[in-house]
Structure 1
């Protein structure tokens, strides 16, 4: 009976890999995963296991500046974070790492934090965010605004004649009071 239960348990079966195995090498406090070089910032309770990391690392994680890995029930969970200056959700930024460790990781459980050293990611900043901060930009914006206002004054205004309505009668019911209007005929 226990053999049948163990065969049906999804967690005891070997999970298929959805990506190729990563090339992971450790050199002091630096860790190279594929072509990415990381510095180990925190390695609580020797959480870094190269064999498990080789299997769990997905190339999708290459885009992040920080990697956090926590071990729970002999399973490694990896999560990526960006630098604080990147325009992304606040829970994906570097300042959210401490909150993530407090809320989602087992208290006292082993975890590690890696910081990407190379290649350095270059992010586009939103040029509209700082637009208008210089005197020249403010003046050009004011001129455009003034030009648009003067242009609007030269356009002819179109007026539509309002339909005339006349008051017919006022009826008061038990719960309602309303007015019936009838249009005046143009005869």
Structure 2
């Protein structure tokens, strides 16, 4: 889990080990807060970031939806470049994950021999 500007992200893909948290934090801009996915590609040792929305967002241009990421990588990035994809994790998802990670209390059953 990566946290920046009170936003939480999950690393979905890390092709050719492109993700470097320190470099990402330095390059990150609050303009990216509105996106559901962030793609980072590395070319000539420079990180470039692009934002994409969930496919379910209807008032968004098709080339800015998550299903256009592969086309973006093929059309606008250097062939075979290292890249990563981050997905924004909602507060609701964080809450659900926290609830799942808390172990439920278990009752210990003491069986005594001869009972």
- TM interval, shorter chain, is 0.7 to 0.9
**Any residues of structure 2 matched to 1:1-187 within 5 Å, and which?**
30-86=1-57, 87-119=59-91
Q: TM-score, normalised by structure 1?
A: 0.47
CA deviation after TM superposition for structure 1 residue 92, in Å: 0.5
Aligned residues: 91
Q: Name the CA distance, whole Å, in 1 between partners of 2:82 and 2:68.
A: 18
> Which consecutive unaligned segments of at least 5 residues does structure 2 have?
93-115
Higher RCO (CA 8 Å, separation ≥ 6 residues): 2
Q: Please give the per-residue CA displacement for 1:15-62, whole angstroms capped at 9, x wherever unaligned.
A: xxxxxxxxxxxxxxx222221111111001111112221211001100
Higher Rg = 1
The list of structure 1 runs, each at least 4 consecutive aligned residues, that deviate by more than 4 angstroms after superposition, is none
> Which consecutive unaligned segments of at least 5 residues does structure 1 have?
1-29, 121-187
* Structure with greater proportional helix content: 2
Q: TM-score, normalised by structure 2?
A: 0.74
Q: Which residue of 2 aligns with 1:157?
A: none
Q: Name the CA distance, whole Å, in 2 between partners of 1:115 and 1:54.
A: 15
Root-mean-square deviation (CA, aligned residues, Å) is: 1.3
